Amino acid sequence: MLVAGGAGSLGSVVASALHDAGARVAVVDHRDPQAGSLPDGVAAFRADLADEAEAERALRDVSSHLGKISVLVNCAGAIHSEPLVTLTDPSRRRHRIDSWSATIRSNLDVAFVLGSLVAEHMATQRIKGVIVNFSSISASGNPGQTAYAAAKAGVEAMTRVWARELGPLGIRAVAIAPGFVDTPSTHAALSDTMLADLKRRTPLMRLAKPREIADAVRFVIENDFISGATVGIDGGLIL
């Protein structure tokens, strides 16, 4: 199994949970995967997965280590919050194009580049597998997250297309759409006031635990009749 973004606070939990379940796991991340909290036995590689050449190299490295890849978990990405227009900061009235591009690149481009490469790997080697893409509850349109919401909506659309195209080859595509997860990146992207409001509006009155998201990933990997779906894990919160 290959976990993209496996050095992150959520990706490392996903990789660890799959490893604990007995899977052979490799992670690829643009950060140093060795700096994370990955268990012994999880192979770690470093690459910019939005760069096709680097992603191809990383996939060759992972294939050399794991052999055939039947599971890809596209967990790479970064939350970004920025209003479309603000009247409180005259120096920056509009959403910046550079932050738009960076958010699309880290969330959508990575999923596309690595997903297409792994799909080719599976198809040419006649592997029946699954691609699990990470979306977000924000895909439905979360105020203050134009770029992030657009990227995650794109991930969900791409997942449905792949399910239709790749299904006849025995390859499934599923999206996981977490709500707000108790990770350092969530706390960095949202103020304490925003987080308190989200907890108040969530019927379960809390953020998700990273392991709860990892358990959902394992579920969609193991259920061979889930494809083309977006599985929401948001504690009942619908934006």
Residue pLDDT, tens place only, 59-77: 999 999 999 999 999 999 9
DSSP state of 85: B
Residue found by looking up tokens 């509850």 in the block:
137
Q: For the CA atoms of the chain, what is the radius of gyration?
A: 17
Q: What is the pLDDT of residues 125-178, one digit of tens each?
A: 999 999 999 999 999 998 999 999 999 999 999 999 999 999 999 999 999 999
Q: What is the pLDDT of residues 84-108, one digit of tens each?
A: 999 988 888 999 999 999 999 999 9
What is the CATH number that goes with domain 2-233? 3.40.50.720
Regarding pTM above 0.85, the answer is yes
**Cα–Cα distance between 135 and 156 in angstroms, integer?**
6
Q: Over the chain, what is the mean pLDDT? A: 93
148 tagged catalytic:
yes
Domain range annotation of the chain: 2-233
Reference 24, options 69, 58, 90; nearest CA is 69
Q: What is the pLDDT of residues 182-196, one digit of tens each?
A: 988 888 877 889 899
The pLDDT score that the predictor gives to residue 33 is 65
**HSE toward the beta carbon, residue 54, CA cutoff 13 A:** 12
Percent of the chain with pLDDT over 90: 81
Q: 83 pLDDT exceeds 70?
A: yes
> Whats the size of the chain, residue-wise?
239
Reference 49, options 99, 97, 84, 2; nearest CA is 2
Whether 74 contacts 115, CB under 8 Å? yes
DSSP state of 224: T
Whether 201 contacts 179, CB under 8 Å? no
For the CA atoms of 87, 91, 93, 98, the dihedral, rounded to the nearest 10 degrees, stands at -150
**Cα–Cα distance between 47 and 79 in angstroms, integer?**
20
Token pair recorded at residue 185: 């990146």
The pLDDT score that the predictor gives to residue 82 is 92
Q: 39 pLDDT exceeds 90?
A: no
Average pLDDT of span 208-234: 96
- Of 45, 134, 148, 180, the catalytic one is 148
pLDDT-derived band at 40, boundaries 50, 70, 90: confident
The pLDDT score that the predictor gives to residue 9 is 86
